[in-house]
């Protein structure tokens, strides 16, 4: 009789201890908001969460690289746009200088502005990036990894953008073309017309060239925007999958916690009443 009673008491105590552990576990899951505390809680889900964590770390790296590439591309686009605007003004000035009604003083003023624009173009070619380096690198473009096995050029080289304008005399620099136009404008009457006409042809080539480079840079910028959108979608998918695997369902966990707490409270109350008997009561 005593042995059987002790066995029942042990079972009840163990049941209540199990409930207490389950309650503690629910409290931990709610406070940490994580269903999986150790890999043994759900080995399959834990393994997948580990894979997702690695993928998220990689995505964070690609995101950082894409942000850098997009920033460089945007700065390059702004710089090339300024060069396009400058060349439009050069073309306008040379056309004015070409007319026979422009006075010597007017041509001198035009030549002065053209040389100022040439200096501006040189400064644009030497534009710095946010890190203090040259935005337009010489010889080779900066290749930025933007995805697994994928690299992209953020900005063309200075040679491609500013120094490879096709002309009858071979590839020329934008600033050199503008300086040559300024020199042509200041020539004596006998030779000025032909020189200005030739300069105007080169300026036209320069305009076509720099406009095409801006279009190319714009295409790069659009591509980076597309990759950033895709990366954001991938990051969101990974976050949602990971959350579904390891995050606590707060509503469900709270309901379980309350139910277990009620069960434990009731069991403890019953246990206390039933076991008010003394040892002598059990021996009777």
The string of pLDDT tens digits covering residues 260-269 is 776 756 666 7
Tokens of 228: 């950033």
**Average pLDDT in the 152-175 region?**
94
Which single residue is written with the structure tokens 């005593």? 2
pLDDT number for residue 1: 43
The string of pLDDT tens digits covering residues 35-66 is 777 777 788 888 898 999 999 999 999 999 99
As a whole number of angstroms, the distance between CA 282 and CA 284 comes to 6
pTM over 0.85: no
Check residues 40 and 198 and name the one with the higher pLDDT.
198
The string of pLDDT tens digits covering residues 209-225 is 999 999 999 999 999 99
pLDDT number for residue 51: 92
pLDDT number for residue 279: 47
As a whole number of angstroms, the distance between CA 227 and CA 70 comes to 10
The string of pLDDT tens digits covering residues 118-161 is 999 999 999 998 888 899 999 888 899 988 889 999 999 999 99
Q: Kindly give, in sequence order, each residue whose CB lies less than 8 Å from that of residue 250, ignoring residues fewer than 6 positions away.
A: 30, 33
pLDDT number for residue 227: 94
Strand pairing partners for 134?
Answer: 128
Counting residues of the chain whose pLDDT is more than 90, the rounded percentage is: 57
**Average pLDDT in the 102-111 region?**
91
Nearest-5° angle of CA 37, CA 38, CA 44?
Answer: 110
The number of residues making up the chain comes to: 284
Torsion angle of C-alpha atoms 111, 116, 122, 126, degrees rounded to 10: 180
CA atoms within 13 A on the CB side of 237: 8
pLDDT number for residue 142: 85
For residue 2, name the pLDDT band (cuts at 50, 70, 90). Answer: very low
DSSP type of residue 149: T
pLDDT number for residue 211: 97
Map residue 177 onto helix, strand or coil. Answer: helix
Tokens of 283: 């021996």
Counting residues of the chain whose pLDDT is more than 70, the rounded percentage is: 81
- Helix axis angle, 174-185 to 189-246, nearest 10°: 160
């Amino acid at each position: 009789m005593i042995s059987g009673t002790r066995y029942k008491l042990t079972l009840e105590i163990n049941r209540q201890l199990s409930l207490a552990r389950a309650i503690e576990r629910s409290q931990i899951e709610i406070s940490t908001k994580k269903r999986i505390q150790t890999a043994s809680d759900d080995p399959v889900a834990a393994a997948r969460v580990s894979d997702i964590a690695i993928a998220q770390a990689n995505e964070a790296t690609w995101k950082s690289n894409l942000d850098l590439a997009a920033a460089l591309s945007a700065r390059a686009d702004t710089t090339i746009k300024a060069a396009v605007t400058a060349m439009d003004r050069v073309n306008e000035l040379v056309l004015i200088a070409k007319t026979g009604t422009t006075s010597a003083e007017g041509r001198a003023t035009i030549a002065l502005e053209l040389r100022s624009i040439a200096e501006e173009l040189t400064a644009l070619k030497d534009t710095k990036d946010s890190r203090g380096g040259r935005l337009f690198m010489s010889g080779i473009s900066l290749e930025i990894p933007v995805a697994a096995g994928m690299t992209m050029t953020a900005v063309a080289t200075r040679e491609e953008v500013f120094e490879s304008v096709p002309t009858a005399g071979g590839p020329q620099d934008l600033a050199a073309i503008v300086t040559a136009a300024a020199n042509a404008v200041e020539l004596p009457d006998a030779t000025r017309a032909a020189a200005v006409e030739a300069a105007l042809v080169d300026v036209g080539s320069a305009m076509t060239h720099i406009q095409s480079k801006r279009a190319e840079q714009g295409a790069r910028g659009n591509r980076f925007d597309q990759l950033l959108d895709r990366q954001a979608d991938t990051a969101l998918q990974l976050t949602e999958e990971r959350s579904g695997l390891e995050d606590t369902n707060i509503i469900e966990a709270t309901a379980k916690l309350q139910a277990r707490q009620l069960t434990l409270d009731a069991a403890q109350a019953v246990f206390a009443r039933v076991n008010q008997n003394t040892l002598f009561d059990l021996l009777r």
